Amino acid sequence: MFLNCLSSHTHMPLLKCNRMLHGYVWVVTYTMRVGLPSVLQVLHTLFLPPPPSIQAKSRGVEEAREKMFSGDKINFTEGRAVLHVALRNRSNTPIHVDGKDVMPEVNGVLNKMKAFCHKVRSGDWKGFSGKAITDVVNIGIGGSDLGPLMVTEALKPYSEGGPNVWFVSNIDGTHLAKTLAQLNPETSLFIIASKTFTTQETITNAESAREWFLKTAKDVSGLPKVKEFGIDTNNMFEFWDWVGGRYSLWSAIGLSIALHIGFENFEQLLSGAHWMDNHFRSTPLEQNVPVLLAVLGIWYINFFQAETHAMLPYDQYMHRFAAYFQQGDMESNGKYITKDGARVGYHTGPIVWGEPGTNGQHAFYQLIHQGTRMIPADFLIPAQSQNPIRDSLHHKILAANFLAQTEALMKGKTSEEARGELVAGGLGGEALDKLLPHKVFEGNKPSNSIVFKKLTPFMLGALVAMYEHKIFVQGVMWDINSYDQWGVELGKQLAKKIEPELKSADEITSHDSSTNGLISFLNQRE
């Protein structure tokens, strides 16, 4: 993996460290603008008000990191440990919550997943009519959808021999209807992915899917015995309250991943994340990739008022990567209350967005290059393509664009350079003077270039864990709780109140005038 932070016309190298990643050299190089404090100085002296100067270590990054890995309840608003790292703890080193080692239960669920995956992928697990399973439908939302969807898309090249996977998340009936229209109930298996089994969207979609299944199956007597909702307890896979939804793809929520790519590849995904966990936990802050990424982000957000962060993977298989970290970052660090209950006096989490390259170049890169806002961006690319068609011609063009964009963002184009190009193109006089300002690029736009050998399950696991830990470090430095999500609840509460009103013939007056009017409009057009 190669990480390069480009941010200035003139830049100086700050750090270079070489490590071995499963036999692949992992080189991390940082550059920063001359005349500003180095990344390392920012790391040691973080200027976040109120007071004017605070040591990064005094922000408690190392202490908080150890508390997380040790099972302390760092999710202080909900009184929970934060232990997604235990789910991929391939060393099996004991990790305790309330004095109990969680690893035996973690390994028990993994073994159950492994056995189940083997049965389905081998054809031993049959549908109600005795046919093998060809399609798996994951019904969930948020972390029970975004992670498995992102990973199964990213690792499609490793899915040979596995069932097709489908994902239904939206409560909009169109999502479920269009999915079911492509399925055969005799060969379909449904996963209801829910931490609480109370999420309205998930349960409604699951009930509708069950109705479709029973209706199309017809011979109900041929179906397995069911309890309550209709799921045999033997087919339930446990995970725990110390697993946050947006960090749950490593748990039983990742069952659709394991079914699609095979359990051995799922284990490689876990191993890659565990490797990054070890790097994050043991590497000095000055050479710690998630920490340095976090500090760079804080540098841009809190010193240069950057409001967004673009994630731009130059790999079509990673087309859901930015969407996944929209939740991962924005739901984690979209907070304005500190541990002490005070309102922060500085900006916290950025808006995260992005699309795969080179599509984005023909859509929004104009704003990044010549807009009025600073937009830090992460560019990601594998050195090797999974599909090297035409002697890797496509990938070479892709890589050339990747490198060109990061260089262009850093260097820009001066007025003199633009003038020379226009003159060489035959333009002169007043026409040249009018066009010239539009052809100038200021440059000095920050970006991180993250290059890895190939998008394997191991590498994807490492990349995801890297960003998870970056988010954690930023939350610690901003003194917020990255592991609750109270902002999700208010809209849910109001929706429960509004839902029965959408069935009412009475005039609605219980809301603000705008909402009352919209409810009346919708009711009149049912």
Could you tell me if 59 and 477 are in contact, meaning their C-beta atoms sit under 8 angstroms apart? yes
SS3 content of the chain, % helix, strand, coil (to 5): 50, 15, 35
| Selected catalytic residue, list 57, 100, 362, 394 | 362
Is 492 in the active site?
Answer: yes
C-alpha closest to that of 443 among 6, 37, 5, 2: 6
Strand arrangement, sheet containing 24-33: 11-21, 24-33, 2-6, 447-452, 377-382, 308-313, 351-353
Phi first, then psi: what are they for 130, rounded to 5°? 90, 5
From the centroid of its chain, how far is CA 510? 38
DSSP SS3 for 265? helix
CA distance 293 to 466: 9
- DSSP code of residue 287: G
Collapse the DSSP code of 452 into the 3-class scheme (helix H, G, I; strand E, B; otherwise coil) and give the result: strand
Structure tokens at 520: 């009346």
What is the chain's Cα-based Rg?
A: 25
Using CA atoms, how far apart are residues 261 and 280, in angstroms rounded to an integer? Answer: 27
Query: Which one of the listed residues 396, 492, 496, 497 is annotated catalytic?
Result: 492
Q: In what order do the strands lie in the sheet with 135-139?
A: 164-168, 135-139, 188-192
Selecting among 153, 331, 355, 468, the annotated active-site residue is 331
Residues 306, 373 contacting (CB under 8 angstroms): yes
Long-range pairs for 90-93 at CB < 8 Å and ≥24 separation? 90/267, 90/270, 90/271, 90/274, 91/274
Helix, strand or coil for residue 164?
A: strand
Backbone angles phi, psi at 182, to 5 degrees: -100, 5
* Catalytic status, residue 362: yes
Residues annotated catalytic, as ranges: 331, 362, 492
